[in-house]
Amino acid sequence: MLRSGLGLALISTQGFASKEVEVTYARAAELCAQADEIPYPILYGIWAVVLVRGDREGVDRIVDRVRRLAETSQDPAVQIATWSSLSSYDYYAGRYRAARDHGQRAIDVVARHDPRDLLRMLLGYNSEAMLYGHFYGALAECALGSPERASELAREALAIAEKLDNAYMLTMALSFTATVLAFTGDRAGALELAGRALSMSVENGLPFWTAAAMTTTGIAQLWSGDTAAALGSLRGGYGLMRAIGCTVVVPMWGSWLAEALLANGEIDEALSIVDDALAFSAASLAGERTPPDVLRVKGAILLRRGDVTEAESLLRRAFTAADAAEARLSAVQAATDLAKLLAATARAAEARALLEAAIERAPEGRRHSDHLAAQKVLATLS
């Protein structure tokens, strides 16, 4: 268990996927090889390394152990840690309903206990798991087109973290809540919380959360129209996260960086970044479930370059992928971009039908900025 404790310290200061963390937990697993079961604190460390690197084969080797523990353990700490681990896995694999449902299983356990007691139980291996059910559940709700529920879950988790008197937990909660607020359209709130997370992560030497806070600042700036500032923030966050080995976020974060580069007119670099995101996604947890936003951004890049045919193909793929994943707001975004292309090529009737269907399938997000943008385009399609 001393190896597990060392691994926890390294995770906190170097991130989940540093080489030192990998070596520490691999050695811990070797020491436990003679046992029928690997103690969960060690199993979690191994899981965290392979998950955060987007190592599909590595995750596949141990996911059944994690699922079995989730279904059979009577230990509330293990229940929370395993259900939240499955929630995060499902989210990055593009299974948003499963991510939401598994997150809720963790939330239900948290609700039955004093968070301070849970923190003491989890400190030996996975303290942040106490709130991962809330946060990955919130991110899944964003994807599924329920921004109000997403915001509610994130703010509930942040309220818990603020009562724990634990700098790591609060930094993590501020960063996640900022991301959820950016997704739900509260850009000012996202910038405020990301700023707090950035200050705390730097002060406490937490590079993983520094990268996350920088990136959330960047997407809030980008979606608020401050392209120059966004590009600096996104470059910094993306570069730092890749430097510490967290590559599971490459598809999502790469699409944001590419979007900022496109907005800044740096088309060749934008295309390079988005192609890297697509290649990594195909080899990572999502596999054939290509993230629709990556396809949409590449379509936008190619459209800017004048390749209308390929851009249309990618935007159609983005819409289909979003629809299949029930990623309602991503489907609205893809449909909006595709509708504008169709209208510009004398296919307004098709554009209108497509956009009306996308809007209709995302009724809970009608006040979201993407929804409002879609309605604005729809109004021009007579």
Q: pLDDT tens digits for 277-302?
A: 999 998 888 888 889 999 999 999 99
Report d(CA 52, CA 178) in Å as an integer: 20
Across the chain, mean pLDDT equals 89
What pLDDT is recorded for position 229? 96
Per-domain boundaries in the chain: 294-382
The predicted-structure confidence for 180-225, as pLDDT tens digits, reads as follows 999 999 999 999 999 999 999 999 999 989 999 999 999 999 999 9
The predicted-structure confidence for 340-356, as pLDDT tens digits, reads as follows 999 999 999 999 999 99
State the pTM of this model.
0.91
Of residues 35 and 304, more confidently modeled: 304
Considering only CA atoms, give the Rg of the chain: 21
Q: Extract the tokens encoding 24.
A: 């520490």
pLDDT at 259 over 90: yes
pLDDT at 1 over 50: no
What pLDDT is recorded for position 131? 97
Of residues 372 and 88, more confidently modeled: 88
Considering the four listed CATH numbers 3.30.2010.30, 1.10.10.60, 3.30.43.10, 1.25.40.10, the one that applies to the domain covering 294-382 is: 1.25.40.10
Which of 19-23, 72-76, 113-117, 276-280 comes out lowest in average pLDDT?
19-23
Contact 357, 320 (CB under 8 A): no
Between helix 328-344 and helix 369-379 the angle, nearest 10°, is 30
What pLDDT is recorded for position 35? 55
What pLDDT is recorded for position 288? 80
